[in-house]
């Protein structure tokens, strides 16, 4: 057992459930993307209800298509960034695996990051397919990985707020 990890509220054995959650996120993400790639042409959209469409979009950039218009170097930049984030998150999980909300949030972010890195490695872009809109106002399309990252980030904020409240 890692003494340093135990003194910080976790142990290396407690990382396994969190890695399992990340793997589930990756599997769901990749399965849904495979369905879209198999059933939709690029740009094809199907209305589900008045505020939600399923659409096939290829995003060579990051969130909100950041750097999508770059000359191709961004693919490897985002792969490297995802690899670095993965290593850092696993390190955090090894040190703090006993902190449930914190670790759950990190597991969601890890699964989402790896899901999008897989897309970049396989296709050179991220497959997005969830499109939310209100009238003519469209939110940028996203996917399961992006959703996991967003929920994980919100849970990290909640975890910190709760930690601050307990500290009073």
The active-site residue, picked from 29, 119, 146, 159, is 146
Does 128 participate in catalysis according to the annotation? Answer: yes
Lookup: tokens for 50: 């008045």
Query: Which residues fall within 8 angstroms of residue 94, CB to CB, at 6 or more apart?
Result: 2, 5, 10, 12, 15
Q: In what order do the strands lie in the sheet with 45-49?
A: 45-49, 52-59, 126-134, 137-138
Is-contact 93 15, C-beta < 8 A? yes
Short-list 111, 92, 87, CA closest to 15: 92
The active-site residue, picked from 29, 39, 119, 128, is 128
For residue 15, give the 3-state DSSP assignment. Answer: helix
Does 119 participate in catalysis according to the annotation? Answer: no
The catalytic residue positions are: 128, 146
């Amino acid at each position: 057992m890692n003494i340093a990890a135990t003194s910080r509220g976790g142990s290396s054995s407690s990382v396994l459930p969190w890695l399992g959650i990340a793997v589930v996120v990756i599997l769901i993400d990749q399965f849904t993307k495979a369905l879209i790639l198999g059933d939709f042409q690029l740009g094809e959209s199907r209305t589900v209800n008045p505020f939600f469409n399923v659409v096939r979009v290829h995003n060579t950039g990051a969130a909100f298509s950041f750097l999508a218009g770059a000359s191709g170097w961004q693919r490897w930049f985002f792969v490297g960034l995802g690899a670095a984030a993965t290593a850092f998150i696993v390190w955090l999980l090894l040190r703090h695996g006993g902190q449930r909300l914190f670790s759950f949030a990190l597991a969601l972010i890890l699964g989402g990051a790896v899901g999008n890195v897989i897309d970049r490695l396989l296709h050179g872009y991220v497959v997005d397919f969830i499109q939310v809109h209100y009238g003519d106002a469209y939110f940028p399309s996203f996917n399961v990985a992006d959703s996991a990252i967003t929920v994980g980030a919100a849970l990290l904020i909640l975890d910190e707020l709760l930690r601050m409240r307990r500290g009073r």
